[in-house]
Amino acid sequence: MLIIDQEEFFINLAITQAYCAQQLQQPWQGEFLVLRTSLQPVYEHQQCFVTAPGLKGEAATMELAEWLRHADPYYAVRFAKIFAQQLRYKSAASAELAQQAFYPGRILVVEYGSNIPDGAVEAETAGFFDEWDLPPIDTWFYNGDSEPGRGILFAWIPEQFIDLTQLAIDVQFLDILHWFVTPREWGRDPYALHPCV
């Protein structure tokens, strides 16, 4: 069973919502690409994501080389380091941003430690999800383990990508993608209008 630190969950969610909202306002990049350019995570001195040089906008989406072949995101230690790195970057970059009381969107839960990627989700979502059935790295905000080797990732999906994410949920054959439902015992609902943290 996954135990969620609610304070960390809500702090990271607010950072990610504000950061994604800022990135999606950039007029010079396509929406899919902009959620991957805030951080080029580096592991063992190599980038895990690479944007093809000279490409901008939606045309670049299919040219993204997602994870390097040897940088398996399901390897728990490597994934945890990359997750922490992108969150640190977003925290620093969004420190000056005014956070809203409400951001339209939903939370996606990805059981990435249980996956056998087949490429169907990537194809169905035109590259919004990568070949490993993961949403763009800027959307990630909480990472945990339900049991050894079973990673659980929480990602913020802005409103304009909800339908696309639903396609991913429908196509993913191992049922590892789910919409988050707020536990009854929580005193706060991430989908409700609330004061900024």
* Mean pLDDT calculated for residue range 50-68: 39
* Mean pLDDT score across all residues of the chain: 78
Q: Rg of the Cα trace of the chain? A: 16
More confident residue, 185 or 50: 185
pLDDT digits (tens, 9 = 90+) for 131-181: 788 999 899 999 987 555 678 999 999 999 999 999 999 999 999 999 999
Locate 169 and state its tokens: 């949920």
How many CB atoms are closer than 10 A to CB 61?
17
pLDDT digits (tens, 9 = 90+) for 12-48: 999 999 999 988 887 755 556 678 755 554 444 555 5
DSSP 10-41: HHHHHHHHHHHHHHHT-TTS-HHHHTTSS---
pLDDT digits (tens, 9 = 90+) for 63-111: 334 444 445 666 666 778 778 888 988 898 888 877 777 899 999 999 9
SS3 of the chain: helix, strand, coil, percent, to 5: 35, 15, 45
Gap between the terminal Cα atoms of the chain:
27
